[in-house]
């Protein structure tokens, strides 16, 4: 990202579409976005993967 608005847009997209990737790469940014949006999509993703094998990462 070349400016703060673009960084916010890109990290927000990852926050919702690939929260595991964002949290692993930028844990502080993930925490800030979780506070900002008042959501934790990583927890939802992990619960979904635990309950539904089709959503698990390939081995």
Q: Domain segments of the chain: what residues?
A: 4-55
The pLDDT tens digits of the residues spanning 7-58 come to 999 999 999 999 999 999 999 999 999 999 999 999 999 998 889 888 777 6
What topology is assigned to 4-55 in CATH?
Answer: Collagenase (Catalytic Domain) (3.40.390)
- pTM comes to 0.82
Interacting residues of 30 by C-beta distance below 8 A, sequence separation 6+: 15, 19, 22, 23, 42
Assigned token pair, 38: 């008042």
């Amino acid at each position: 990202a070349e400016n703060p608005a673009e960084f916010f847009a890109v990290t927000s997209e990852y926050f919702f579409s690939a929260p595991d990737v964002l949290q692993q790469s930028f844990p502080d940014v993930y925490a800030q976005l979780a506070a900002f949006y008042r959501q934790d999509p990583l927890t939802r993703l992990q619960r979904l993967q635990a309950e539904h094998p089709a959503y698990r990462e390939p081995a």
